[in-house]
Amino acid sequence: MKSGKFVVNALKCFIKIDIKKRRPYYPPHTFREWINVPYVDDGDMHHAYDFYLANEENRKHVCLIDIHGGSYIIGDHQDNYPFAYEFLKRGYDVCLTDYVPNDGKRGTFDLVKDVIDNIFHLMKNKDKFDLAKDRFVIVGDSAGAHFALLIAELFKNKKAAKGLGLELPYIDISSVILICPVYDYENLGKWNMTNSGLKRMLGPSYHDAEMRKKLSPNTYIESFNLPIFVSTCKHDFIREESLHAYSDLKDRNNFVFVDIDSDSKKVRHVHNVTHPNLEESIKVNDAIDQFISKNL
């Protein structure tokens, strides 16, 4: 377990250094911002979020509620700033949400509840953030895409939410964006991870089949009718998850699937979030922009 903790901490350090290197490519901005807003007042940096308003000259009054990835065990809300910057320039308001990562002791449901609490706090402060006229799009990458689709489903499916002990208010969600998502959470890692690895990633309830099914987006997908966008690429290491989603959703009129066939090793898992200036990333983000506009 100690060696596993060392690897996780090393990975966190690598990600932070990589993000710090990329930030100079994003010039000073004029967006109105609220940084590290606590949604739980306990001093934990993960119980906080960043919120940005697009400039008024091109503001669309559409807010992207963005949920970062990180294999359930790493990452924070500031990691996705490069992605937020690109969409702020396009006129979208952006909320970069956060959750306390799993340390082997928390369960995935704890992370989901964190994100829901974050969204509740955002909604309670709509007037403060000038969001009264906004419609909302839930966006997520990797594990964050798992949360994005599941939470959208729970907001729309009161029975499913009640099955998890949740009572959720109405939110005007217009669509869901999934970037290299975890889709079949029920079977995630089942065949190629050790029990200790699954516990570290998913928490003590990793072996609870009923709970994993309740937390799996594909469980509710038949009754979910909001527009869905999914992207993946050749070097997406969980590409099979996106292909599974495509198999379930391909016959829907309000479904868009973008699969980038590039041999470049830079075009990998969640490339349009981590490196949005790549040619292939611009193609994905253009498609996201068009998809959102079409479904408002």
pLDDT one-digit tens code per residue, 34-58: 999 999 999 999 999 999 999 999 9
d(CA 194, CA 191): 8
- ∠82-88-90 over CA atoms, to 5°? 115
Label residue 273 exposed, middle or buried (CB < 10 Å: 0-12, 13-18, 19+). buried
* Mean pLDDT of all residues belonging to the chain: 90
Whole-number pLDDT of residue 204: 81
Q: Is the pLDDT of residue 1 over 70?
A: no
| Tens-place pLDDT, residues 86-109 | 999 999 999 999 999 988 888 899
Say if CB 39 and CB 99 are below 8 A apart: no
* pLDDT of amino acid 27: 67
Spatial distance between the Cα atoms of 108 and 204, rounded to a whole number of angstroms: 9
Mean pLDDT along residues 69-79: 91
Q: How does residue 260 score in pLDDT terms, banded at 50, 70 and 90? A: very high
Token code pair at residue 247: 């198999």
Dihedral angle over CA of 245, 284, 116, 41, nearest 10: 150
Q: What is the model's pLDDT at position 10? A: 52
Report the candidate in 37, 138, 110, 139 with the shortest Cα–Cα distance to residue 78. Answer: 37
Q: What is the mean pLDDT of residues 188-200?
A: 67
Euclidean distance between CA atoms 55 and 51, whole angstroms: 13
How many residues are listed for the chain in this entry? 296
Q: Exposure string (b/e) for 101-128, b if CB count within 10 Å is 16 or more? A: bbebebbbbebbbbbbebbebbeeeeee
In this prediction, residue 26 carries a pLDDT of 66
pLDDT classification of 190: cutoffs 50, 70, 90:
low
pLDDT tens for each residue of 111-158: 999 999 999 999 999 999 999 999 999 999 999 999 999 999 999 999
Cα 99 off chain centre by: 11
The least confident of 28-32, 233-237, 263-267, 285-289 is 28-32
Identify the band that residue 225 occupies on the pLDDT scale cut at 50, 70 and 90: very high
**pLDDT value at residue 15:** 57
Q: Which domain holds residue 280?
A: 2-294
Q: How far, in Å, CA of 36 to CA of 28, rounded?
A: 18
pLDDT in tens, 171-183: 999 999 999 999 9
How many structural domains comprise the chain? 1
Please say if the pLDDT value at position 199 is more than 60: yes
Average pLDDT over residues 177-195: 82
d(CA 47, CA 97): 9
For the domain that residue 282 is a member of, what is the CATH number? Answer: 3.40.50.1820
**Is the CB of residue 231 less than 8 Å from the CB of residue 259?**
yes
